[in-house]
Structure 1
Amino acid sequence: MKIPRKPYLYEALFSVLGLIVVMAVSLVKYHTDPHVPMLIGSIFASIVAFRAGYSWEEIEKGMMEGIYQALQSVIILVIIGVLIGVWIVAGVVPSMIYYGLGLLTPKIFLLATLLICSIVSLATGTSWGTVGTIGIALMGIGQGLGMPPALVAGAIISGAYFGDKMSPLSDTTNLAPAVAGTDVFTHVKHMIFTTGVSYAIAAALYTVIGFRFSGGSIDVNEINAIKSALASQFTINPLLLIPPLTVILCVALKVPAIPGIALGVILGAVEAFIFQNADLGKIISAGYSGFVSETGNQMIDDLLSAGGMTSMMYSISLVIASMMFGGIMEKTGQLEVLLEALLRKVRSVGALICSTVLTCVASNMLLPEQYISIILPGRLYARAYREKGLHPKNLSRALEDAGTLTSPLVPWNTCGAFIKGVLGISAFAYGPWAFLNYINPIVSIIYGFTGFTIEKLREDE
């Protein structure tokens, strides 16, 4: 039996550059979806694997292992698709929009969106749950106030991913210190230095931009018209806020995400029957194929004609295609070769942290899965940080500053695909407005080169 050899650097680069070229041409020139280009990237990676002596069985196993790593994400995508459809037919999302329109004004909307999503995500530890619940309502409110959808989505994502990286309940917040070799509370406290500055800058930008809409493009009569359109199709009631509050409470109490979201679906179905007189057939149909709004208000109809399991198939298929490529790259050692080449260029502490940040960004683009962008760079760089006498919390912070926050900025990443499926906005559109997500990695690099808050290991450590 032939023993596979370690791929050469130029072979691993062939896989990566092949994917980049095909993806760039397909997206930029032909404006296609990234699914097929990602599959072509898997072909490039397989060719290199064959050349290195790997059998088809080993390559196929790598693909399956890659897909397996994303199965939880796939399940969550499916359940959230059902949840959105059921919550709309139940009047949950319409009620959130209705009450939000009565509380918010254009002048403070963007800052309020950032703060609201931050609080919800901190309490739940999940960016996806925040975007898929309160995020949907805020998108509707923002459109009702005349805000550009991409700008609103950027504020939602900044807030949601702030909580995702700072909440001790978050999986990534626990994963990063575990990989780096420190504890979660040390990790969170150390992140305050980079995230706090980045968050303040983002908040200031949203406040300034919000003043541009201080006059608002929709007057009170138009807002009332939207509220009337909602009230004409749905029974609006404060009790309809129970399902989202319950989901937030479940995750805050450390109930696993899947049963917590499923409970939100069940409560939504019960309230659909009670408040909207929806029968079981209508509820099931909304959960599978989504809800079709017919209020006569175009904006409301466009917003509320959404949800359902089928609406998530775009994201799910992209997750599967992406993880096939990532699985081959990891299983056949091509990713390891690329990362080792990066380590040879590292000399100073600043360069090490910069390399960590850039590697996380590249992992999000090439693998492309948020968890992998934390796990693989974390495993690779842990020894290098120790050799330079750096506390592992510096590594865990860099992993989250870049790995967690840049994941939604990549359209074909599982996070970017999820947001596209839920909010209907591409990462290419909302990316420039997700201030926190790209300011934080830059701040992390600056801290690395200046040495600010970079802590050394004590002798006893």
Structure 2
Amino acid sequence: MRPDANGPDEPVSIKRPSAAHGALCFGGNLALIALGLFVFGVSLHILLFACLIWTGVHSRLLGYDFPAIRGMMSDGISRALPAIYIFLLIGLVIAAFMQSGTVAALIYYGLDLLSPMWFLVAGLVLCSLMSVATGTSWGTAGTLGVVLIGIGGAMGIPLPLVAGMIVCGATFGDKLSPVSDTTNLAAMSAGTSLFRHIGSMLYTTVPAFVLSLLIFTVLGLRYAGNALPTAAIVEIQQALLSSYNLNLLMTLLPLLVMLTLSLRRFSAEVSMTASIVVAVLIATLYQGQSPVTVLNNLWSNQTGTTGITSLDELLGRGGMLSMSWTLLLSLMALALGGMLFAAGFLQALLQGLIARLKSTVSLVASTIGAGILGNMGMGEAYITIILNSQLFRQAFEKKGIDNAVLSRSVEEGATMSTGLIPWTTAGAFYAATLGVPVLDYLPYAFLNYLNPLISIAMATLGIGLLSSVKKN
């Protein structure tokens, strides 16, 4: 028990929040963000600062002093340090891939291979395969996603639609890949094996993926006549050739290194760092750029020099500095989540609900809903996955439902929704990397909200529960 700030010898009693207090604190945060963002247009960073003050006041009412409150915020940030490391590396990867000609080569050859009619379908499949192979949705969006945004824009396909497709594919692998951190975390937290967890998710994720694929196929038909005129394609390709040496094997080597190391189960940090080093060597030794220029561009990438404005802006993305907006937002969201978690506000809000759950359907639906609420309140799927596994595990076991169904439901709430909320680490990252606001691409991230709905529908029908106990 921490002493009160008024004196070292005056211990203060720490209270746990009631369900009503938890609802008031959590609801106040949501109201601050919703009103500030959608009604008054206040900066999201400032709104999160207001939420920190609001939650800090409520924590103080429970008896926590400022050092304790600061400790809660610090713990929230420390739990997500791996995500923060990847934040910084992604900015470096994007800039390095721009400098090495990797992105330019993918655009150059992609314009020959992809047609507007099949672009969305092909993009979804490619992003899904890459995210399964690498286990990182951020790495997929930051590399292949950036390329697809460039090609889709050149083909006249609306960028929110393209971004929605990228988020669907990136999330697919993040949820199912055996090398994904969230996949492993959910299995571990729920007390099931990794591959039983993945097998359980296939019941609901495959139908959602097939439906998403069909929707993108239908939407792609609208753009069948959007093929760029030959002259425009040639102009873009010639502009790329004038700025880069585009030997396919050489320019794709950084990407191949990252994929190979990921498949060999090296950590994301190691795979990304190796690809950055290879890309820097290619940029200097093969593309002929100054080593000093290349290294400085890793900090703050400069626009391209092809002469085509939109293409130059795309080729100028990336760099560690480009992640500063996202990183600052994430740190504030994680600090807020740490307070809500450690002071027990979210637990108080949910435990009363869990005690009232009687049917399997309500249990699955509530676990998914709690994942969405957790992301909205704590800004990070990692914390939500751990918390919800702890909160709901006993209820699943009492009903005789396999822990793999718990882990699946936790992911369908937490992993699938994190990229659809502007102030989560994933939402902020996608918006910054793809250049499309979360609320703009949200309607087109079909997989992310079809998957939870299909999961609830299957629970209603008693399908895929991996249990000998019949549904109530």
User: Distance between the aligned counterparts of 1:443 and 1:223, measured in 2?
Assistant: 41
Q: Which residue of 1 aligns with 2:306?
A: 295
Q: Are the counterparts in 2 of residues 155 and 434 from structure 1 also a CA contact under 8 Å?
A: yes
Query: What secondary structure does 2:241 align onto?
Result: helix
After TM superposition, the structure 1 stretch with the greater mean CA deviation from structure 2, 211-220 or 50-59, is 211-220
Q: Are the counterparts in 2 of residues 15 and 41 from structure 1 also a CA contact under 8 Å?
A: no
Q: Which residue of 2 aligns with 1:194?
A: 204
Q: Tell me the alpha carbon deviations over residues 342-372 of structure 1, each in whole angstroms, 9 at most, x when there is no partner.
A: 2133111100000001000111111110112
Deviation at 1:302, TM superposition (A): 2.4
Q: Are the counterparts in 1 of residues 257 and 275 from structure 2 also a CA contact under 8 Å?
A: yes
* Number of residue pairs aligned between Structure 1 and Structure 2: 458
Deviation at 1:10, TM superposition (A): 2.5
Query: What secondary structure does 2:356 align onto?
Result: coil
Give me the TM-score of the superposition, normalised by structure 2: 0.95
1:444 alignment partner, one of 436, 449, 455: 455
2:439 alignment partner, one of 398, 405, 428: 428
User: Distance between the aligned counterparts of 1:220 and 1:249, measured in 2?
Assistant: 36
Q: Does 1:455 align with 2:470?
A: no
User: Distance between the aligned counterparts of 2:356 and 2:37, measured in 1?
Assistant: 32
Q: Are the counterparts in 2 of residues 229 and 297 from structure 1 also a CA contact under 8 Å?
A: yes
1:326 alignment partner, one of 337, 343, 366: 337
After TM superposition, the structure 1 stretch with the greater mean CA deviation from structure 2, 163-172 or 24-33, is 24-33
Q: Tell me the alpha carbon deviations over residues 294-317 of structure 1, each in whole angstroms, 9 at most, x when there is no partner.
A: 322122022122111110001100
User: Distance between the aligned counterparts of 2:391 and 2:368, measured in 1?
Assistant: 13
Q: Which residue of 1 aligns with 2:244?
A: 234
Written as runs of structure 1 = structure 2, the 5 A alignment for 1:302-313 is: 302-313=313-324
Written as runs of structure 1 = structure 2, the 5 A alignment for 1:85-100 is: 85-100=95-110
Query: What secondary structure does 1:295 align onto?
Result: coil
Aligned Cα root-mean-square deviation (Å): 1.3
User: Distance between the aligned counterparts of 1:436 and 1:303, measured in 2?
Assistant: 26
Q: Are the counterparts in 1 of residues 20 and 349 from structure 2 also a CA contact under 8 Å?
A: no
Deviation at 1:83, TM superposition (A): 1.7
User: Distance between the aligned counterparts of 2:378 and 2:344, measured in 1?
Assistant: 13
Structure 1: stretches of 5+ with no match in the other structure: none
Structure 2: stretches of 5+ with no match in the other structure: 1-10
Query: What secondary structure does 2:457 align onto?
Result: helix
Give me the TM-score of the superposition, normalised by structure 1: 0.97
Written as runs of structure 1 = structure 2, the 5 A alignment for 1:154-303 is: 154-216=164-226, 218-238=228-248, 239-303=250-314
Deviation at 1:217, TM superposition (A): 5.1
User: Distance between the aligned counterparts of 2:84 and 2:194, measured in 1?
Assistant: 26
Percent identical among aligned pairs is 34
Q: Are the counterparts in 2 of residues 81 and 311 from structure 1 also a CA contact under 8 Å?
A: yes
Deviation at 1:400, TM superposition (A): 1.5
Query: What secondary structure does 1:405 align onto?
Result: helix
User: Distance between the aligned counterparts of 2:165 and 2:283, measured in 1?
Assistant: 30
Deviation at 1:457, TM superposition (A): 5.3
User: Distance between the aligned counterparts of 2:438 and 2:25, measured in 1?
Assistant: 24
User: Distance between the aligned counterparts of 2:261 and 2:72, measured in 1?
Assistant: 35
Q: Which residue of 2 aligns with 1:410?
A: 421
User: Distance between the aligned counterparts of 1:445 and 1:185, measured in 2?
Assistant: 22
Q: Are the counterparts in 1 of residues 115 and 227 from structure 2 also a CA contact under 8 Å?
A: no
User: Distance between the aligned counterparts of 1:204 and 1:31, measured in 2?
Assistant: 36
Deviation at 1:272, TM superposition (A): 0.4
After TM superposition, the structure 1 stretch with the greater mean CA deviation from structure 2, 11-20 or 359-368, is 11-20
Query: What secondary structure does 1:218 align onto?
Result: coil
Q: Are the counterparts in 2 of residues 63 and 327 from structure 1 also a CA contact under 8 Å?
A: yes
Query: What secondary structure does 1:133 align onto?
Result: helix
Query: What secondary structure does 2:223 align onto?
Result: coil
The one-letter amino acid of 2:338's match is G
User: Distance between the aligned counterparts of 2:133 and 2:416, measured in 1?
Assistant: 18
Q: Tell me the alpha carbon deviations over residues 80-137 of structure 1, each in whole angstroms, 9 at most, x when there is no partner.
A: 1122112212211111111111111111110000100111111111111111111111
After TM superposition, the structure 1 stretch with the greater mean CA deviation from structure 2, 228-237 or 47-56, is 228-237
Q: Tell me the alpha carbon deviations over residues 237-269 of structure 1, each in whole angstroms, 9 at most, x when there is no partner.
A: 211001011111111111111121111111110
Q: Are the counterparts in 2 of residues 108 and 207 from structure 1 also a CA contact under 8 Å?
A: yes
Q: Which residue of 2 aligns with 1:419?
A: 430
2:389 alignment partner, one of 378, 384, 404: 378
Q: Which residue of 2 aligns with 1:315?
A: 326
The one-letter amino acid of 2:413's match is A
Deviation at 1:424, TM superposition (A): 1.4
Moved over 4 A (4+): none
Q: Which residue of 1 aligns with 2:7?
A: none
User: Distance between the aligned counterparts of 1:153 and 1:126, measured in 2?
Assistant: 16
Deviation at 1:43, TM superposition (A): 1.1
Q: Tell me the alpha carbon deviations over residues 371-417 of structure 1, each in whole angstroms, 9 at most, x when there is no partner.
A: 12211111100000011111111111111222111110111101111
Q: Are the counterparts in 2 of residues 125 and 251 from structure 1 also a CA contact under 8 Å?
A: yes
Q: Does 1:340 align with 2:351?
A: yes
User: Distance between the aligned counterparts of 1:215 and 1:32, measured in 2?
Assistant: 40
Query: What secondary structure does 2:260 align onto?
Result: helix
1:82 alignment partner, one of 77, 87, 92: 92
User: Distance between the aligned counterparts of 1:171 and 1:89, measured in 2?
Assistant: 29
User: Distance between the aligned counterparts of 1:229 and 1:98, measured in 2?
Assistant: 10
Q: Which residue of 1 aligns with 2:364?
A: 353
